[in-house]
Amino acid sequence: MRSARPVVLAVLIAGVAAGQGLEPRKRVEDYPVHGHAGKIEVGAEFHFRGVPAGRDSLYLREGLVVEVALFGPKGRRYQISPGHFSLRINRKGQPLMPQSPGTVAYAEKYENRKQLSIGLNSGVVVLGGPQSGPRFPGDRTGQPTNGRRPPSVDTGQPRRESEDPADVMERVALPNATRPLPAAGCIYFYYSGKTQKIKHLELCYNSTHGTLKLRLK
pLDDT tens digits for range 38-61: 999 999 999 999 999 876 668 888
- Which residue in 106, 97, 101, 85 sits closest to 8, CA to CA? 106
pLDDT the model gives residue 76: 92
Collapse the DSSP code of 49 into the 3-class scheme (helix H, G, I; strand E, B; otherwise coil) and give the result.
coil
**Maximum pairwise Cα distance, the chain:** 67
Q: From the centroid of its chain, how far is CA 11?
A: 20
In a domain, 146, yes or no: no
In a domain, 35, yes or no: yes
How much is the pTM?
A: 0.71
Residue 9: CATH number of its domain: 2.60.40
In a domain, 171, yes or no: yes
Q: What residue numbers bound the domain in which 29 lies?
A: 4-129+160-208
Contact 24/182 with Cβ under 8 angstroms?
yes
Total tally of structural domains belonging to the chain:
1
Q: Which residues of the chain have pLDDT under 70?
A: 1-19, 55-57, 110-162
